[in-house]
Structure 1
């Protein structure tokens, strides 16, 4: 019997595994990098061991250090979570060689399926070798890992070399393996997968289907079970193919077989030999705890007969600290408050007051709703997210709510290109026009020590806020009865407290819950920033300045580029790494590079000057793209989030999702499709 488990991971998935271990009476051990010293997963574990350093390559990807940590802490088993080392056969062997129980599939099964190239070879599918114009578009994809990292879509032949180089570097950084391959990229497909659970006694369960078609940057955003609208015959085929794949490698444990479904056909993508980020939707529908089943299987116990019957429908949304309207740019800072209404499941690796840093995946939480029908589950999840309290960096919360209520998604007509088609409409700002007034009144109440009423009428009080990219000015007066709104007019102040304001507009009362953290004010779901009474001096940058769009580390500067060099529009200049992905900063116009103040290894914050490109008419016409206020940033690839990290997006670490767009994959019997999942 297992008595103590070390989780070789971090964030959400580590916390989720610890929860099951506590329920089973098993002691827990965490490992942590230096930035994670006070992370939630280290706080909830019974013991924690430091992995010196910050980058995944020197911490969570160091299998030797993880094994030493397990032995030092007295653990007798290791659970890899998803991402990081979860699909590393050498790590699995190192765990068992050290006398520890490996809560995962046999190393030989990992080797057979964890590498996407080898998995396809098992099924007779060959990657593209010599790509021609006729093969385009294609997908460059990392052979190891997932989470969309190490993936690039190529639509022009001249972009292939750069895509290969970028994918190799990103894959090496995230997974310690720079092998990549190329496969056809198919548009308008659905991403469907089958959860597998197998014991060491020959029993294999196929636990329904999941649809993970809503993706961005090859990372899944919303997942559900069962996959809606699949013909019964196709569902049976998917189950049979998944079981066959598992039996082909004598699989033991939990795993997922992923497919693209297009034109009524199933195209094999890959088998993920680990738990997926989206496993909770299967748990909710089947009434199972997959982590508990993994532990029982690792102890040698058999699965109990037939799998349970599915009940109802479950939907999961991944809440990210990112700005979908700004190229999905990851956000950092303090998460002041995260609270989700009851009735839904919340899996998270963060607590109130925790810091969202630059080293790992920006997924804050997974919110899961289960209901008797799909329509009820969608409505339940959208409502819970809408009422959730999320105070901190910008998140994708509003995008999730709108996606769940989008007609195409409600009618189950979505595919992996959903966000390519609908992102602009889903990210149009729609702030509450009365939120600034509520913020001002709450602030006035909190600051008014002796009351602000005066017997002689005076000028109204004025406050200015920034909200949704615009400036809002509100005016109000203190009266003997409380507050009166001056602008906006026609509003009656029913109540004004420090944290609750009630306004009546056109006869309808509206409640506004207000919280303030420094100059940031949160009013219901809107975030506002209090502006100073007198504008502050603004730092001026030269025209053509390329500023860091996010905090991160400069990992590369283009070879041979020095001040005075001529650059083409769109030419890469600086590579930033943030939250497990690389972002390319390119020249917005053709011209002369006049400044290049950064070097590899430098940590930068948002707005740091990276380079200056002075436009030169003789060098060519300017390309569409931002300049001083926004460098051209290439969209990175990423797959499942790990609760945190490169571990995998499924780690959330290795799941795949797409920024909307096709995915690549292949049918064992026929054409190739494309695979958006970088892991699940």
Structure 2
């Protein structure tokens, strides 16, 4: 019987595993980097062990340090979570060799399936060699052999881009997983990403726990997942389950795992087997009424599964909340998460609480929100409504994108595929702030500012405030009168520091206002208060390229120096932030007139990276 469990992970998944452990009466041990010293997962565990450093390569990817931490804390079992070392056979062996229980499949099974190239060979599928790629075979996908989460992946549509895609994918895979092996496979433009959750014990029983659809993806990383996969015929679903069980049995699999497919033209194309728990496992838990982590622990203790899995009931949908700006190439965001609250009736899995900091070192996912209902339509409505009413105060998030995605006709009718955001991102990210949010912010700010009340002997001059909303400046005007605050075109029913009620054309609307310095949240609209008189020194020269996020300059284009010509769209600088690489490109054809940064340099948002002087027409 497991008595003390160390989770070799961080954030949301560590907190989720700890929750099951508490219910089971199992003591918990967290590991944390220096950057995570005050993180929620380190706070909620019974014991926490420091891993010196901040980068994954020196902390969460150091299996030797994690095994030492488990032994030092008196743990008798290790759960890897997902990502990091969860699919590393050497780590699994090290855990077992230390006399600890490994919560997962055997190192041999991980070894057989952890490399996507070897997994394809096991399933009788050949990958393309780099030399096999021709113009006729485009587009292709360059993909990391180890790991997942969309890292180390590049779509290649032109032969001249292949070398750069291979180089970039190798660099990103090495940074994220410690393994730079990549391979090439055909890229199916309009396929659906469908997977099967499996659970197997040591007694020969393998459960295929239904299908999941994970087609809504950005940068090859899933954003919305649901179970069961809608619009899949029972015949195809049975084929997927059969293939998943076959894959599991081929490596004598034990524990929880997922077999992933791309479904196109009614056919299933094997992608990979993930030998770990998936991020999206809660939708399967909701539909089958089970706790997959608890089942993982029972299997590791040698207990047998029932011969048949539980019956599926209803439909579940999960949305991943990220601190990122989808309208700016999914740029990750950092800062203080002042408030995180979702309405009752949905499941919230998160590694953050109010006041926590979203840093630069790790994935920018804030939380997963899951809705379960008797039908897909009901689950969709419940999840979209909960996200719309959620209180998210802090960095920019993808919340609005999620709500619009869940309500998009292509998604509600289950006609989506992995190209959904390629087709619809511009429309889904079009700014649509509440037009009365700036006025509500100004009135809340003005409440109580006058020491002598609102009465004046002469008509009051309008007060003016400026706000930035979704990249656009808004100016609002209001007046202090003997009857209180007033604004043209609306009736101010009530205004205090946190609540403003406006009546427009006979309809009353209530606004909840929360200010954190210059950052203001009015219902679901995020605003930034602007100074009355802009600082002239803050103006940048035309063509200036600034860091969109905090990160590290990992690469500068070869031969790039001041005075050289650059082409429009040419990659100039590569930034690494939150385990992903981001290209900074030339905004127009011109001459590079400034390059004040160098490789290895840490930068903050707004740091000047380069200046391109545009060619005169």
Q: When the two structures are superposed, what TM-score results if normalisation uses the length of structure 2?
A: 0.97
SS at match of 2:402: helix
Tell me how far 1:449 sits from its aligned partner.
Answer: 4.8
- Check 1:475–1:594 CA distance in 2 against 1; reply closer, same or farther (3 A cut): closer
| 2:143 equivalent in structure 1 | 141
SS at match of 1:516: strand
Structure 2 Cα separation of the partners of residues 258 and 195 of structure 1: 9
| 1:549 equivalent in structure 2 | 548
**How many residue pairs align between the two structures?**
615
Match of 2:339 among 337, 348, 362: 337
- Superposed CA deviations along residues 106-144 of structure 1, whole A, max 9, x for unmatched, are 100001111000000112211112211111110000000
Structure 2 Cα separation of the partners of residues 569 and 455 of structure 1: 60
SS at match of 1:584: strand
CA contact (8 A) 2:123 2:247 kept: no
| 1:112 equivalent in structure 2 | 112
Tell me how far 1:448 sits from its aligned partner.
Answer: 4.3
- 1:183-198 correspondence to structure 2 within 5 Å: 183-198=185-200
| 1:536 equivalent in structure 2 | 535
Structure 2 Cα separation of the partners of residues 560 and 498 of structure 1: 55
SS at match of 2:278: coil
Structure 2 Cα separation of the partners of residues 166 and 59 of structure 1: 23
| 1:126 equivalent in structure 2 | 126
CA contact (8 A) 2:460 2:481 kept: no
Structure 2 Cα separation of the partners of residues 391 and 297 of structure 1: 41
- Superposed CA deviations along residues 262-320 of structure 1, whole A, max 9, x for unmatched, are 11111111100000000000000111000010011111111123211111110000001
- 1:220-259 correspondence to structure 2 within 5 Å: 220-259=222-261
Match of 1:485 among 487, 506, 523: 487
Structure 2 Cα separation of the partners of residues 608 and 484 of structure 1: 41
Match of 1:262 among 261, 264, 268: 264
Structure 2 Cα separation of the partners of residues 435 and 389 of structure 1: 15
- Superposed CA deviations along residues 211-270 of structure 1, whole A, max 9, x for unmatched, are 000111101110000001111111111111101110000000000000111111111111
- Superposed CA deviations along residues 633-660 of structure 1, whole A, max 9, x for unmatched, are xxxxxxxxxxxxxxxxxxxxxxxxxxxx
| 1:80 equivalent in structure 2 | 80
| 2:513 equivalent in structure 1 | 514
Q: Which moved more, 1:301-310 or 1:383-392?
A: 301-310
SS at match of 2:211: strand
| 2:20 equivalent in structure 1 | 20
Q: Which moved more, 1:224-233 or 1:553-562?
A: 553-562
Gaps of 5+ in 1: 622-680
- Check 1:310–1:467 CA distance in 2 against 1; reply closer, same or farther (3 A cut): same
- Superposed CA deviations along residues 160-194 of structure 1, whole A, max 9, x for unmatched, are 00100000000000000000001111111111000
Structure 1 Cα separation of the partners of residues 407 and 124 of structure 2: 41
- 1:158-557 correspondence to structure 2 within 5 Å: 158-486=160-488, 489=489, 491-557=490-556
Tell me how far 1:615 sits from its aligned partner.
Answer: 4.2
Structure 2 Cα separation of the partners of residues 201 and 191 of structure 1: 31
Gaps of 5+ in 2: none
Structure 1 Cα separation of the partners of residues 396 and 495 of structure 2: 27
Q: Which moved more, 1:123-132 or 1:310-319?
A: 123-132
CA contact (8 A) 2:8 2:78 kept: yes
Relative contact order, higher structure (CA 8 A, sep 6+): 1
Tell me how far 1:443 sits from its aligned partner.
Answer: 1.2
| 1:583 equivalent in structure 2 | 582
Residue 607 of structure 2 corresponds to residue 608 of structure 1: yes
Tell me how far 1:465 sits from its aligned partner.
Answer: 1.6
Tell me how far 1:442 sits from its aligned partner.
Answer: 1.1
- Check 1:378–1:102 CA distance in 2 against 1; reply closer, same or farther (3 A cut): same
